[in-house]
Structure 1
Amino acid sequence: MDASKDTGNIPYLYRTGIYLWFFPKEKHTYSIKRFFSDNKLGVIKIPLDVDVFIPSKDMQELKKRLSGIDTFALNVKKNGGQVAILIHEIPSWLSSSTSNEPIGRGISGFKANISPPKDYKNWSELVKTIVNHFNNKLKLDAFYIIWTEPDLDFVWSGTEEEYFKLYKYAVLGAKSADPKAKVGGPAVSSWAAKRNPPKSRFKDKPFLYNFLEYCSKNGIEELGLTKIPFDFLVFHSFNNHPALWNIMVSDTKNWLKEFSFDPRTPLFVAEWSSWEGPPLTSSPYSSEDHDTEFVASYIIANLSKMNSAEISYHTFTTLFDPDASGEEEFTGNFGIFTHNLITKASYNSFRIMSMLEGNLLQPNTNDPFIYTIASKNKEKIFLIITNFIPTPKMYKQLIAEELKKKGYNVDELILLKEDIIKYLKREENKVLPEKLRLDLEDIIKKYSINYEVLQYRQENPVDIVIYFENIQGNKYKVVEYLIDTNHSNAFSFRENIKKALSEIKRTYKMKKITKDHVFNYADAINNSNNVKLEKIREETIVKNTSKCLYNLTLMPYSVMMLILQPEEGSVSKTLMPPTIRFVK
C-alpha cells in the first residue's frame, strides 16, 4: 500500500469522547485538568438530570442551575471538544406524574422525572430555554440528545409514541431558539432494541425503526416542516463483538433509506463499553472488566471497527466512577477514573489514541484477533495494535444477528440455542437441519470461528512480525508503549493503591493535611510506574532489505503503541503503511 494514498485525516471519531454520567464536583477538578491535558477531546456529553432538572423548583431556578455548567462547557470548547447536552428526565413541576417513588437501578430521581410532561408546549419552552442558553448565550453550537434509552420502562414510563411526541416538541423548542441547533435521538439501549413492555410499542419493530417511520410521517407545522428532523441518530451498545458494528450501521442506513432520509446521516454511539462480568459489587453496573486491561483492548478494537463501519461520533461510558463506600478502590464501575481519581487501563487507551498524528493509514493483518489503527506525519509512523479476543458471549450475539439476516426469528433461535452452541463447539456430532448447518458454516467461515483456537488465544500470548514496507533510510528509532496485566494498569496493583489511599485518608481525617494534598497524592499515584502509560522500550532497528521487520509478543488483551521515527542522518522521504503478518 502506497503511503501517498493514505486514507485522509484522522477521523473525529478517534478523538476522546466521553459521557460524564454526573457533573464534576470540587474533588474532580484535578482529574478534569489531567483529562483535558492528556487527550484530544472529541464529544463530551453533559447530563442535565441530577444537577439541573431534578432539584429545580421552577423555570427561574432551572436557568440559574444551567449557569453552573458554563465554565466546564466553555472549557470543553476551549480545549477542542464538542459539547453534547443530554436532555433527560424532566423537572417534577413539569411532569404528568406526582410520584416521588425512587426510580432505582442506580438511576437518580423519581418516577415523576421519567414520566411524560403534563404540557408538551411547556416542555418545548424548556428545551428552547436550554438551547438559547448554550447556543445563543455561550455560542457553543452544542449537540442536543433527547432522552436516554426510552426503550426501557425504568428510564421512560410513557409509551413509545409518547416519546416520539416528546422528541417532536423538543425539536420545536430547539429549532425555535436556534434554527441551526443540532438535535438527535432516540438514544436507544441498542440499535435493535424493542420497547419494553411490548404493550406500549408503536409497532412490533425495533424502537429506532419505529422512530424513523414516525418522523417520516409527521411534521412540525409551526416550523413549516413536513417531516420531523434529526441532525444525527443516537443509539448505545455494550459488550458487542467488534464486527457487529457493520450490522448495526447497515441496518440503520437501510431504515433511513426506507423512510426517505439521508443514509449519510451521522450516527452517534452515545454510550458504549464492555460489560462482560463478573460483578465486583452489588451495583447493577459493576463488571470486573471495566477496571482491567480487557476494556483497554476492547476500546481500541471497537474504535477501529466503528470507523470502518462509518460511525461519526462516540461518547464512552464514563469519565468517573460514582462515589463508593468501603475501602475498595476498584468496584467495576464504568469510569476511566476510579471514585478516588485513579486512572484505569481504559484511560491509557484513550491516551494512546490521542498520540496519533497526521493522516490515517490502513495496515493489513491476517489474524482475526489483531486489531490495528495507524497514522503518519512527515517524520513518524504511529501504530496501535491490540490482541483482542472476543468472548463466547460476544460471538453468540454476532451469530444470532447473522442468523436473523438469513431469515431465522428469535423464537427459532431460542429453541435451537443449545444445539447451535454444541455444533459451534464441535462437542458432539450434532445433526442440524441442513439449511441451518450450511448457514452456520457460512458464518463460521466469515468470522473464522473456532472455539478451540478462541480458548487458546484467551490464555496464551501471540508472536507477530510487523513488516514496514518501502520506507526510506536505514536506521529507525522505535518506541513502545504497553498496556497489559503488568503495565499501565492500576487494577493489577490495587492492593498497594488501596493501602496508600487508606493512609492518606487517615491522615486527612486527623486534619494533618488539606484536600489539595489528597488530590496531589492521587496525582502522584497516576504518575507512578505501572499506573501511568508506560514506555517500555526504545531501540534502534536497521533495515537491511526493502522491508523493515519488527518482532513482538503480545499477551491477550494487551495494547501496544509503536512510534517509528528515522534517526538523524537517515533519509526518509516516504513512509509506507505497515503490513502486519501473524506468525503461527
Structure 2
Amino acid sequence: MIRLEKKTEERLDLPCLKCISLGRAYDLLREDIRDHLRMAQKDIGFRFCRFHALFHDDMDVVYRRPDGTIGYHWHQIDKIYDFLLSVGLKPIVELNPMPSLLASGNQKMFYYAMNVTPPKVMQEWYDLVHEFTHHITERYGEHEVEQWRFEVWNEPNRKCFWSGTQQEYFDLYENAARAVKAVNPRYLVGGPASAIGAWVGELIEYCTEKDIPLDFVSTHLYPQDEYCVHKDREHSPSALGMYYIDGVRKVWETVINSSRPDIDIYWTEFNTLATDCAENITFLNNIHVDKLFSAACIVRNMVETRAWSKGVAYWTISDVFEESQMRHTPFSGTYGLITLQGIPKAGYNAFKLMKKMRGKVFETSVEAPLGCGVLACEEDGILRVLLWNNQPLEIASRPDWSDTLVFDGVNAEDFIAEKALIREGQGSAYEAWLGMGKPANLTAFEEDYLRARSEMDYSLPTLKGSPASIDFTLKGDEVCYFEIHKRPKDVAHIVENKKMEAQLNTDNT
C-alpha cells in the first residue's frame, strides 16, 4: 500500500524538461526536424537546445580572403538560431568542431566528417569564437544572448572526439571562454562536455587556479557506459541497476567538494542506450531507445536524479540523425524520441507525462521490485501520481508490480480518477511495428496505424472508499500516470428556447 498523506516542502523541478538536443547544426535547415521540434515544444516545451557541429565545413562559416586573412559567413547560423528562437528555444552553443582552414590535422569523426583536431594557430580559434559571439550579440541583443549557454567542445576526454591532450583542451577552453567574455562578461560559458563524468573536477580546479571564466560544468552519461568501463560489471562500484543514478550523484559530489561548490551542472547528453552484458554493447543499433523500455528508463533516472543538476538534455529529439549515415526504416535503433515519420516513441510519451507533474512532492515509501518507483505531487487540490517499472535488463523475469494507492483526505464519491498508461503497442509503437513484420517502408495506412499505436492508453478507473484508493498493476517497462481531481460542479444540460422552437416549426410553405 502506498499512502499519500504527507507533502514535503519540495516543489517539483525536473531538469530533464529544460533541455533537448539534436544531431548537428546542418540538420536544422531541414523542415522535417523543424516539425519535430515544433511538436515537442507544443507538447513538452523545452527551454534549451544543444547540437554538434556549429563550425563544421558544411556550415561554411570560415573562409580565407585572397590576402590570407580569415573571414566569416554567418548566414546558415542565423537561419538556425532564428528558427530556434521562433519556437521558444535558447541555444546551448556547442563550440565545435574545428573548421578545416583552422585545423592542425585531418582526424575526423562521424559520417559527416567532423574535424576533431586542435587549432593550428590558437589565435585563429580565439578570433572565430570572438567574432561569432560579437555577431550573435549584434543580431539578437545582449539581453537575449545572456540567457544562452556556451559549451566548449564535445567529449574531449575521448580520442575519437579530440585528438589533443587534456592540457590542449584546457588551452582551447581558456581561449574560447575569454573570447566569449570579451564580448560580454555576463555571458555563461562552461565545459568540459566530457563523457562519463570525466574531467569535471580537473577543469574546475584548473580554471580556479588560472582565474579562467567557468560558469557551469557539463558532462554525459548513458546506462550502458557501465559495461564500457566495467566489463560484465566486474568491479563496478554500483549495485545492479544503479549505475546511472550513482554516476550523476558522483559528479554532484565532486562539484560540492570542489573549489566551486555552487557551480551549475548540466548533463548535456543522456538517453536509454542500455545493455545486459558487455557482448551486447552497441551505439548504432540499440533497440532500447526505440522500445517500451525507454519510457520507464527515462522516468526512473530523471526523477531519481533531479536534485543533482540544473539541466539534462536527452540525446536526441529526432531520428533525423546522421552520425553513422541516415537510417530510413521506421525504427532503427536511432536515438530520437520521434521517428522519421513524426511518430512519437515511448520515450517521448514519458516526457509528456513528466510534463504533467507539478506542485509539492509527497513523501512516499514503496516496497516494490528493483527499479520500480512512484512520484506524487499536489497543486491546487489536484493530485498527480507517476509510477514506473524499470527493472534492470539483467533481470530476465521482469515481474509485474501490483499495489494500491491510497489518497488521504479524498472521498471516492467526490473525486474522479484519470489514467494514462504507456504499454507495448499503446504508447509504444515499436512493438506494433514488430508485429507488422518490421516493414522498411510504410503505406499511408500503416503509418496511420503506428501513429494510433503511439497514443497512450487512456481510461477513467474507479476510485473506491474513503480515503479513496485505486489498485494498479505495472508490467515490466510500463509507465502509468494518475490524476485525481474533484468532480465538476457544472454538467451539460439542454438549453430550451421555446420562442425559437415555435418560429422554426412554423409552416412557411
- Corresponding residue number in structure 2 for 1:479: 418
1:169 to 161, 171, 175: 175
The residue correspondences of 1:9-48 to structure 2 (distance < 5 A) are: 9-15=11-17, 17-22=19-24, 23-24=27-28, 25-48=30-53
Query: How far 1:343 moved relative to its partner?
Result: 1.7
User: Identity across aligned pairs (percent)?
Assistant: 19
Please say if 1:555 is aligned against 2:475: yes
2:273 aligned partner? 275
Of residues 44-53 and 265-274 in structure 1, the stretch that sits farther from structure 2 once superposed is: 44-53
- 1:229 partner amino acid: P
Distance, in Å, in 1 between the alignment partners of 2:303 and 2:187 is 30
Q: Secondary structure at 2:420's aligned position in 1?
A: strand
Query: Which amino acid counterpart does residue 159 of structure 1 have in structure 2?
Result: T
- 1:507-565 deviations in Å (ceiling 9; x for gaps): xxxxxxxxxxx9xx96x55752x212331x11342433xx3221011100100111111
State whether residues 52 and 62 of structure 1, in contact with CA within 8 Å, keep that contact through their aligned partners in structure 2. no
Cα shift readout 1:378-417 (whole Å, capped 9, x = no counterpart): 131111110111234xxxxxxxxxxxxxxxxxxxxxxxxx
Note if contact 1:45-1:85 (Cα within 8 Å) is conserved in structure 2. yes
- Partner in structure 1 of residue 218 of structure 2: 234
Q: Distance in 2 between matches of 1:498 and 1:51?
A: 35
TM-score, with length taken from structure 1: 0.70
- Mapped to 2, the partners of 1:54 and 1:122 lie a distance apart of 18
* Residues 338 and 568 (structure 1), Cα distance of their counterparts in 2 relative to 1, 3 Å cut: closer
User: Which residues of 2 match residues 566-577 of structure 1 at below 5 A?
Assistant: 566-568=486-488
User: Which secondary structure state, in structure 2, belongs to the residue aligned with residue 328 of structure 1?
Assistant: coil
Residue of structure 2 equivalent to 1:492: 431
Rounded to whole Å, the distance in 2 between the matches of 1:464 and 1:136 is 58
Corresponding residue to 2:377 among 361, 375, 378:
375
How far is the alpha carbon of 1:162 from its aligned partner?
Answer: 0.1
Structure 1 unaligned blocks of 5 or more? 194-206, 219-226, 393-453, 505-517, 571-584
1:231 is displaced (CA, Å) by 1.2
Question: Take 1:499 and 1:378, find their aligned partners in 2: how far apart are those partners?
Answer: 47
Q: Deviations over 1:245-272 (max 9, x none)?
A: 56445543554455522x1211111101
1:77-101 CA distance string (max 9 Å, x none): 3xxx44211112111111122x3x6
* Deviation (angstroms), 1:178: 1.4
Range 230-239 or range 468-477, more displaced: 468-477
Matched residue type, 1:553: T
Paired residue for 1:66, among 77, 84, 90?
77
Matched, 1:215 2:214: no
1:447-503 CA deviation, whole Å, 9 max, x = no partner?
xxxxxxx444x1x32211112223367432111111121321110121549659533
Secondary structure of the corresponding residue to residue 221 of structure 2: strand
Quick one: distance in 2 between partners of 1:17 and 1:186? Answer: 17
Compared CA separation, residues 527 and 333, structure 1 to 2 (3 A): closer
Alpha carbons 2:201, 2:258 under 8 Å: kept: no
User: Residue 76 and residue 325 in structure 1: after superposition, are their counterparts in 2 closer, same or farther (change >3 A)?
Assistant: closer
- Aligned partner of 1:94 in structure 2 is 102
Q: Secondary structure at the match of 1:40?
A: coil
Taking only aligned residues, the RMSD between alpha carbons, in angstroms, comes to 3.1
Alignment deviations for residues 222-280 of structure 1 (CA, whole Å, 9 cap, x no partner): xxxxx22321110100016764456445543554455522x12111111011222599x
SS of residue paired to 1:184: strand
- 8 Å contact 2:4–2:362 — kept in the other structure? no
- How far does residue 39 in structure 1 lie from its aligned partner after superposition? 0.9
Give the 3 Å change call, closer, same or farther, for CA 157–326 of structure 1 in structure 2: closer
- Offset of 1:155 from its aligned partner? 0.5
Relative to the length of structure 2, the TM-score reads: 0.80
Cα offset, 1:295, TM superposition:
1.0
Give 2:499's aligned residue: none
Residue 260 of structure 1 corresponds to 259
Partner residue of 1:365?
Answer: 366
1:461 aligns with 2:461: no
30 and 469 in structure 1: CA distance in 2 versus 1, 3 angstrom threshold: same
Contact 2:152/2:176 (CA < 8 Å) preserved in 1? yes
Q: Are 1:17 and 1:314, in contact at CA under 8 Å, matched by a contact in 2?
A: yes
Q: Is the 8 A contact 1:52 1:66 kept in 2?
A: no
CA separation of 1:135 and 1:354: change in aligned 2, threshold 3 A: farther
SS of 1:385's partner is strand
Give the aligned partner of residue 429 of structure 1: none
Q: Give a deviation string over 1:313-338, Cα, whole Å, max 9, x none.
A: 01001011226777632111111112
d(CA) in 2 for partners of 1:50 and 1:173? 16
1:503 aligns with 2:495: no
> Structure 2 counterpart of 1:371, which letter?
G
Q: Which residue of 1 aligns with 2:505?
A: none
How far apart in 2 are the matches of 1:175 and 1:44?
21
Is residue 75 of structure 1 aligned with residue 86 of structure 2? yes
